[in-house]
């Protein structure tokens, strides 16, 4: 406030000198405008100066940006970190790549691989993925296999023996989230540890908002993009508290797990319902680029939207109400928001 006032006073003094205005009208800006060309030049120069200043500042920031990873590295493993739980299905090449990636991210305590195939992993595969932990020069996280005898989509939410962190990052084997983005999302989760915090938002829409019948439609990425509204973040790339593993497996309605099992779909919607019913709050969507390294998931199959809508309606009938809560809040890493410099040009135009 004070510097602004000082600046105003200086400007006023300058204007007074130029326009010969008396001291009785101190805080009135002059009514006469300089010529349009003069104004444009002044503005242009001001914009250039501002741009140069911000660029320098951003550069300095990039060079001397304090690294939050240092804090995690200093604390013992399990203390302030999170576990990565990778759900995989017969895509060994992708699995190798994602294990190598996540085990090298700072803050990762252990990488768990949820294995649901009828055959146990071969000795070859075991060696190559468990050895990932040594790729990062010793600093990488430990990798562990969780072998399930039954093939079920519910497996990814079975509580893990020996899990020591509160935070779990659940991810599909074909999704790569850059370490820095992951670290930022973990920070968001720490501020809201009861919420699901993730990168893939989805929405439930009323099929006919005017009528009394509550029929829901699954809103894919496009509807979220268009409206900025979402009510779920999918468990194929999201943080949540480990307590939800226990709630999902041991306390959620068995009929929901059965439905997931039989239809081989919607375990992520079921988890979204569970968390929403516990918290009564929406999830948190984190802005950040994530990379898909394979493209044979079920979401590319025809009729996917229809199946997902049926899950919404079945689950909400089982709950007796719709627990999902919609929101438009999005978490953005403010270190990257200086790109909004473009707005400055608007101020001058």
Ligand X SMILES: *[C@@H]1O[C@H](CO)[C@@H](O)[C@H](O)[C@H]1NC(C)=O
Numbers of helices and strands, H then E, in the chain: 12, 13
Active site residue 151: no
CA distance 267 to 88: 14
> Which of 196, 187, 200 minimizes the C-alpha distance to 107?
187
For position 253 contacting ligand X by CB under 6 A, the verdict is yes
Closer to ligand X by Cβ: residue 130 or 182: 130
Q: Of residues 208-247, which lie at the interface with ligand X (CB under 6 A)? A: none
Rounded to whole angstroms, the Cα distance separating 215 from 314 reads 10
Q: Which stretch binds ligand X (CB under 6 A): 123-131, 145-153, 189-197, 300-308?
A: 123-131
- Active-site entry in 109, 172, 174, 268: 268
d(C-alpha 257, C-alpha 125), whole Å:
30
Closest CA to 323 of 285, 288, 273: 273
CB of 51 to ligand X, least distance (A): 52
The answer to the question of residue 120 lying near ligand X (CB under 6 A) is no
Size of the site for ligand X (CB under 6 A): 6
Tokens of residue 57, six digits: 């500042």
Question: Taking every pair of C-alpha atoms in the chain, what is the biggest distance, in angstroms?
Answer: 90
Considering the rule CB under 6 A, would residue 127 count as an interface residue with ligand X? yes
Closer to ligand X by Cβ: residue 130 or 233? 130
277 is a contact residue toward ligand X (CB under 6 A) = yes
- Closest to ligand X by CB, 143 or 163: 143
Please give the structure tokens belonging to residue 13. Answer: 């003094």
Residue appearing with tokens 């029929």: 215
How large is the C-alpha radius of gyration of the chain?
27
Tell whether residue 319 is a contact of ligand X (CB under 6 A): yes
Query: Could you say whether residue 141 binds ligand X (CB under 6 A)?
Result: no
Distance CA 208, CA 173 (A): 37
Q: Which of 106, 130, 188, 200 binds ligand X (CB under 6 A)?
A: 130
CB of 127 to ligand X, least distance (A): 4
Applying CB under 6 A, the span of 50-58, 93-101, 124-132, 226-234 interacting with ligand X comes to 124-132
Confirm or reject binding of residue 260 to ligand X (CB under 6 A): no
Helices 304-319 + 267-279 axis angle, to 10: 40
Q: Length of the chain in residues, anyone?
A: 349
336 binds ligand X (CB under 6 A): no
Q: Which residues does the annotation mark as catalytic?
A: 268
Which residues make up the interface to ligand X (CB under 6 A)?
127, 130-131, 253, 277, 319
């Amino acid at each position: 406030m004070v510097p602004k006032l000082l600046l105003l006073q200086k400007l006023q003094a300058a204007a007074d000198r130029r326009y010969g205005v008396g001291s009785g009208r101190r805080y009135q800006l002059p009514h006469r405008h300089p010529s349009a060309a003069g104004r444009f030049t002044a503005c242009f120069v001001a914009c250039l100066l501002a741009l140069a200043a911000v660029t320098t500042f951003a550069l300095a920031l990039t060079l001397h940006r304090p690294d939050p990873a240092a804090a995690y590295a200093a604390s013992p493993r399990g203390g302030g970190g999170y576990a990565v739980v990778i759900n995989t299905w017969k895509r060994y090449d992708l699995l190798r790549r994602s294990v190598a990636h996540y085990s090298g991210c700072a803050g990762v305590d252990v990488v768990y691989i949820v294995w649901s195939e009828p055959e146990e992993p071969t000795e070859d595969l075991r060696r190559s993925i468990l050895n990932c932990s040594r790729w990062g020069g010793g600093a990488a996280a430990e990798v562990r296999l969780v072998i399930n005898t039954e093939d079920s989509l519910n497996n990814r939410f079975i509580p893990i023996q020996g899990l020591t962190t509160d935070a779990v990052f659940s991810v599909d084997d074909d999704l790569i989230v850059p370490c820095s983005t992951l670290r930022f999302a973990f920070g968001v989760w720490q501020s809201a540890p009861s919420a699901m915090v993730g990168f893939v938002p989805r929405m439930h829409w009323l099929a006919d908002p005017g009528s009394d019948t509550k029929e829901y439609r699954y809103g894919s990425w496009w509807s979220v993009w268009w409206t900025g509204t979402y009510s779920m973040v999918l468990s194929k790339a999201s943080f949540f508290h480990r307590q939800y593993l226990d709630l999902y497996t041991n306390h959620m309605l068995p009929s929901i797990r059965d439905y997931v099992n039989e239809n081989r779909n919607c375990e992520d919607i079921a988890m979204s319902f569970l968390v929403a019913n516990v918290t009564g709050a929406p999830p948190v969507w984190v802005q950040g680029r994530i990379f898909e390294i394979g493209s044979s998931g079920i979401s590319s199959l025809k009729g996917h939207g229809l199946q997902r809508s049926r899950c919404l309606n079945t689950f909400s009938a089982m709950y007796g109400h719709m627990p999902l809560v919609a929101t438009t809040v999005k978490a953005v890493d403010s270190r990257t928001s200086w790109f909004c410099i473009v707005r400055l040009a608007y101020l001058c135009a």
